[in-house]
Structure 1
Amino acid sequence: MDAITRITRRSFLARTATIAGGAGLTLAGGHFSSANAASPVPGDLQPDSPIAKNWENPLHMIATIESNVADSLGAPSCLERHKIYCLLLMKLIHRFWNGNKYGPFGTYPQRNKQIEYKHNSYTRYKGDLYAGPNLTIWDRYLGHNIAAMAVDRNGEIIDFEFNHNELFRSSSEHAEARLVRRLFDLTEIFDHWKTPRTSFKGLRDKARELDLTDITIYTSLESCAQCSGMMSLARVKEVVFLQFDPGAYRIGNIMYNLARKTAKSTSMSPLPIPADRVGIKYFTQLNDSYQRFLSTPPQTFFTSSDHKIKKSTDSITSFLCTDEAMDIFKKGGDEIAVMELEHPNVACSPGGWTNQMCLDHAKCFFEYADIQGFRGSPHKL
């Protein structure tokens, strides 16, 4: 290492150590370690606020949610209701499956089941697997096969959305973010899938309320910082997710622990619930499958038809284009058709729908989404 490199590295580490010092970290031998003396709680924080109470806690405590936090998960009937909507979300994702991350032409070695047809010079991959004579085959990439769905406290589905980063050439068009914006659009209109007018505090002839405190969002992938923040601002009650996202860094857990609702604060971050907590076996299957995807020797994910472009990636969005991921979502989606309820006549909330009503409603919603489910339009309806 030459003198200039050593000076530059030392300067960088010194600056970084100064920044890290404000976070209770020190630099020892070029590595960060926890400071022995805890930093005092800043004076602008309320002493009884969640962030003040967690100020001296190690990261693993702040990034972990106690297993007994979600009271509703203790009721078997509520677990069953969550399971209904998780399986429906899997069915919706498989229905609109599109793994064409780099377009429908070229070669995707891990997507042989999704080939539409082959020619000597090129291969074309399916977009909408179930497109019929009355439906459109979408050549445009719909978005990593990541979707989110909102359900009210009674069990009625409000709407759902897809990730559309590629379609809008934006890294912020995540499913949950688009869904929250869509829900607020729905406060200004009436449509077939609006909540019954008597559902919210007995108000009649009114649009939806402007906060989502009684809404559960089901999403296929653990929420990122952007989406967790938007759901927090919207006062979403809870978010159930089908797979961990290493790139989310447990930010949903951290926000929940540090922005939990208190007697003096109306701020609230949604409670993140891994789907295995509600009995979804596909949660483990998706996570294990992604780990296998990461552990296999590096291989080309995509090659263009002219062989000029090659893409190798281990991203989770690439995994969610593969045949293996598609098969898992298909199994989950197929399960809802043969689902036998253990608590068909039980409702999870006073005056809410029974689980049998929720299951019937979920099947009916899929029929609607089968025709009207494309969600690539701009946010305003």
Structure 2
Amino acid sequence: MTKLDEYLKRPVSELVADSPRLVSQEEKERHNIYSLLLMSMVAFNWNSNKRSVDDSQKPSHSKDYGSNLLLSTSEKPVPRGKFLKGDYLGHNIAAFAVDRDGSVIDFDFNHNEIFNSSTQHAEARLLNRVFSLNQIYDSWNVGPPPKDTSSSYGQLLQGVTIYTSLESCAQCSGIMTLGNAKEVIYLQEDPGQYKIGNIMFRLTESNDPHRKSLAPRPIPANTFGFNYYSVLSEKFGEYKNATGNSSITSFLCTEAAFLVFLEAENEFYDLANSGLKFPDWKAKLINGSESRLSNKGVLEECLGFYKYFAEKGRRGTPH
């Protein structure tokens, strides 16, 4: 009996439910660092205009909820957001990949509007980029070639975690499945995706102790107590009620959304000064060994990557 046959006899709620997973306090801290980095990257490259550099094209409903322009509802200029106006670089949705040792591989953003295509999502672009980098043994943190360069493309993403700011669609869930990514952690729920990641994970589950499912395990950020997950859902609900617009990408161009990402960016900065509760903890790998980076090493990695991103890794370029 296939998994599909099995679930045809069970409630749909079981198929779409989040997969239960126990997360230790040490691991929660680790996920928190990566998640704050991702939100900081989005805040840094924030775009207030959804469609183009022409601010006159803001949605007609913007007067009911405050303008689509971030500066219009503030007496003083908003302090962050590199592209608040005049330089359109795509939707405010980003993703990056982390290898099994805890190192950030690279990032990408959604660029649907730039390429006039509905397929240019952050996760899809990211995976294509990771495969390309593997061909030339390159990374943002240039160092010696990896010891093992013989892995095929089908094995490249085994053990890799994808962090994305918005729940993945069917296309990106499929691409991550084909790439054998380990898991995908998303920082905001997208009701328009109908839990497709959960469905794919459940329908491809196996008894293999080393590979629980062919699809990556979708992990909502509230699983590890990431407060901004619920805050973004709350703000999106307020936006829908006030405007009648259920477009999550429109919401992600508002000042209300930007201020949430800005708060996360400030928290990310504070981590460098406040320190960690579990600095020496390392993640356990499937083979029983530990990741190379401790939580302290992860924080240093993320701070270094953010500096690279802000100074050299301009979104929409080969960075």
TM bin (shorter chain): 0.7 to 0.9
- SS of equivalent residue, structure 1 residue 352: strand
Residue number among 268, 273, 282 corresponding to 2:214 in the alignment: 268
Aligned-partner Cα distance in 2 for 1:138–1:237: 37
Per-residue CA deviations over 1:179-223 (Å, capped at 9, x if unaligned) read 11111111101334369779xxxx616277523111110101110
Q: Are 2:68 and 2:253, in contact at CA under 8 Å, matched by a contact in 1?
A: no
Q: Are 1:188 and 1:207, in contact at CA under 8 Å, matched by a contact in 2?
A: no
- SS of equivalent residue, structure 1 residue 221: coil
Amino acid at match of 1:296: A
Q: What displacement does 1:374 show?
A: 2.2
Q: Are 1:189 and 1:207, in contact at CA under 8 Å, matched by a contact in 2?
A: no
Q: Which residue of 1 aligns with 2:249?
A: 317
Aligned-partner Cα distance in 1 for 2:174–2:143: 28
Compare relative contact order (CA 8 Å, sep 6+) and give the higher one, 1 or 2: 2
- SS of equivalent residue, structure 2 residue 97: strand
Residue number among 348, 361, 364 corresponding to 2:301 in the alignment: 361
Q: What displacement does 1:115 show?
A: 3.5
Alignment pair present for 1:375 and 2:315: yes
Aligned-partner Cα distance in 2 for 1:238–1:187: 19
The 1:265/1:345 distance shift into structure 2, 3 A limit, reads closer
Amino acid at match of 1:294: K
Residue number among 150, 153, 171 corresponding to 1:226 in the alignment: 171
Residue number among 81, 103, 110 corresponding to 1:163 in the alignment: 110
Q: Which residue of 1 aligns with 2:125?
A: 178
Q: Which residue of 1 aligns with 2:287?
A: none
Q: Which residue of 1 aligns with 2:14?
A: 61
Q: Are 2:48 and 2:85, in contact at CA under 8 Å, matched by a contact in 1?
A: no
Q: State percent identity of aligned pairs.
A: 39
Residue number among 145, 149, 156 corresponding to 2:92 in the alignment: 145
Pairs aligned (count): 296
TM-score by length of 2: 0.84
Mark the runs of 5 or more structure 1 residues left unpaired by the alignment: 1-46, 117-124, 132-136, 299-312
Q: What displacement does 1:255 show?
A: 0.5
Q: Are 2:95 and 2:164, in contact at CA under 8 Å, matched by a contact in 1?
A: yes
Residue number among 268, 272, 283 corresponding to 2:229 in the alignment: 283
Amino acid at match of 1:101: K
Q: Which residue of 2 aligns with 1:27?
A: none
- SS of equivalent residue, structure 2 residue 283: coil
Q: Which residue of 2 aligns with 1:331?
A: 263
Aligned-partner Cα distance in 1 for 2:142–2:151: 7
TM-score by length of 1: 0.71
- SS of equivalent residue, structure 1 residue 353: strand
Aligned-partner Cα distance in 2 for 1:250–1:351: 30
Q: Which residue of 2 aligns with 1:121?
A: none
Question: Equivalent residues in 2 for 1:199-278 (5 A)?
Answer: 204=147, 206=149, 210=153, 211-263=156-208, 268-278=214-224
Amino acid at match of 1:206: T
Q: Which residue of 1 aligns with 2:283?
A: 348
Amino acid at match of 1:355: N
Aligned-partner Cα distance in 2 for 1:138–1:377: 19
Per-residue CA deviations over 1:301-329 (Å, capped at 9, x if unaligned) read xxxxxxxxxxxx43000000000000000
Amino acid at match of 2:70: Q
Q: Are 1:156 and 1:195, in contact at CA under 8 Å, matched by a contact in 2?
A: no
Per-residue CA deviations over 1:70-109 (Å, capped at 9, x if unaligned) read xxx5322111111100000000000000121133322554
Aligned-partner Cα distance in 2 for 1:264–1:91: 35
Per-residue CA deviations over 1:251-275 (Å, capped at 9, x if unaligned) read 0000000012444997610111111
Q: Which residue of 2 aligns with 1:87?
A: 36
Q: Which residue of 2 aligns with 1:130?
A: 82
Q: Which residue of 2 aligns with 1:22?
A: none
Aligned-partner Cα distance in 1 for 2:247–2:113: 15
Mark the runs of 5 or more structure 2 residues left unpaired by the alignment: 285-289
Cα RMSD of the aligned pairs, angstroms, is 2.8
Q: Are 1:223 and 1:248, in contact at CA under 8 Å, matched by a contact in 2?
A: yes
Residue number among 61, 70, 88 corresponding to 1:114 in the alignment: 70
Q: Which structure has more helix as a fraction of its residues?
A: 2
Q: Which has the larger radius of gyration?
A: 1
